C-alpha cells in the first residue's frame, strides 16, 4: 500500500505543477495515466463502477468549482479564479492508494482560499483522531466541528472509506457524526479520509452523466483526501 500511495502523492504533486489557466482537464488526465503507468501502477478509477453500462472513463476525477467529486475530464479548459479538485486512485501489486487535493487556478478569491484552507485543516483534524481506541465517528466529529465552526458545510451524501485490496471497503467514514460511536479503530486498519466541504448548503445533485456530483446551490466545494494507516501511535499518512 505504501508503494501505491507514494504514486498517488507523486502524481498529485506532478499535476500541481501543471495546473494553470488554459490547460484542459483531459490534458491533466493523460499526464496522470502516463505517470502512473511509468511507475508500475494501474489507474484505479478507470473502468470502475457498479453499472457496467456506465463505467468511469478516466484516470482522474477533476471537479471544478461547484463540482464536488467525480467530475469527468474533458476538453474543458481551466479558467483563472477557479478551484479544481483532483482525485486519483492507484493499484499496484494488488493494493490500492487513494488521495485528492484541491488546487487554485491562478489567482483565486479569499473566500475560495479560506474554503480550501478549512477543508485541509479538517482533514488533518480527522487524521489526528485516527488512533487506536477511538471510533470512526471521532474522525467524523472532528471534521464536522472544524468545518461548521468556519461557517461551511460538510457533504452528507458521500463518505470516506476503508481501503486495501479493494478500492472501497468497510468502514464508511462520514464527515459528520457523534464522537464515541462507529467502528472501533484497530492497529493495521487503512482508511481513506476525505472531507468534501461546501461553501453553502451541504446538499448535492447528480449530473445527467450519473457521475459528476455538484452543489445544489452552485456554490464552490473543496475536497482533500489522504490514505492513512492506524498505528500504535499517531496515524501514518501513506499519501503524504
Considering the chain, what is the average pLDDT of its residues?
Answer: 98
Average pLDDT over residues 65-84: 98
* Residue range 172-182, pLDDT digits in tens: 999 999 999 99
Query: Percentage of the chain with pLDDT > 70?
Result: 100
Average pLDDT over residues 121-145: 98
* SS3 label, residue 153: strand
CA-based angle 119:62:3, to the nearest 5? 80
Q: Measured between alpha carbons, how far is residue 63 from residues 84, 120, 122, 201 in Å?
A: 5, 16, 19, 17
Query: Percentage of the chain with pLDDT > 90?
Result: 100
pLDDT number for residue 126: 98
Domain of residue 169 covers 2-237
* Residue range 41-58, pLDDT digits in tens: 999 999 999 999 999 999
pLDDT number for residue 142: 98
pLDDT number for residue 11: 98
CATH number at residue 97: 3.90.230.10
Look at the chain and report how many structural domains it folds into: 1
- pLDDT bucket at 83, cuts 50 / 70 / 90: very high
pTM, whole model, 2 decimals? Answer: 0.97
Amino acid at each position: 500500500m505504501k508503494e501505491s500511495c507514494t504514486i498517488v502523492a507523486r502524481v498529485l504533486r506532478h499535476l500541481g505543477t501543471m495546473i494553470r489557466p488554459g490547460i484542459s482537464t483531459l490534458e491533466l488526465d493523460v499526464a496522470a495515466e502516463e505517470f502512473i503507468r511509468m511507475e508500475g501502477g494501474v489507474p484505479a478509477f478507470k473502468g470502475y463502477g457498479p453499472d457496467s453500462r456506465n463505467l468511469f472513463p478516466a484516470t482522474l476525477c477533476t471537479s471544478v468549482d461547484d463540482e464536488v467529486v467525480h467530475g469527468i475530464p474533458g476538453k474543458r479548459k481551466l479558467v483563472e479564479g477557479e478551484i479544481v479538485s483532483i482525485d486519483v486512485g492507484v493499484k499496484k501489486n494488488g493494493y490500492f492508494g487513494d488521495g485528492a487535493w484541491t488546487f487554485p487556478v491562478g489567482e483565486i478569491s479569499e473566500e475560495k482560499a479560506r474554503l480550501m484552507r478549512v477543508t485541509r485543516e479538517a482533514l488533518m483534524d480527522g487524521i489526528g483522531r485516527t488512533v487506536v481506541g477511538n471510533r470512526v465517528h471521532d474522525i467524523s466529529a472532528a471534521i464536522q466541528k472544524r468545518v461548521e465552526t468556519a461557517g461551511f458545510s460538510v457533504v452528507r451524501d458521500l463518505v470516506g472509506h476503508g481501503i486495501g485490496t479493494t478500492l472501497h471497503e468497510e468502514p464508511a467514514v462520514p464527515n459528520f457524526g457523534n464522537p464515541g460511536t462507529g467502528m472501533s479503530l484497530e492497529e493495521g486498519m487503512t482508511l481513506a479520509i476525505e472531507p468534501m466541504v461546501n461553501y453553502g448548503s451541504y446538499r448535492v445533485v447528480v449530473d445527467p452523466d450519473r457521475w459528476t456530483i455538484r452543489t445544489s446551490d452552485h456554490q464552490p466545494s473543496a475536497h482533500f483526501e489522504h490514505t492513512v494507516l492506524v498505528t500504535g501511535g499517531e496515524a501514518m499518512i501513506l499519501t503524504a
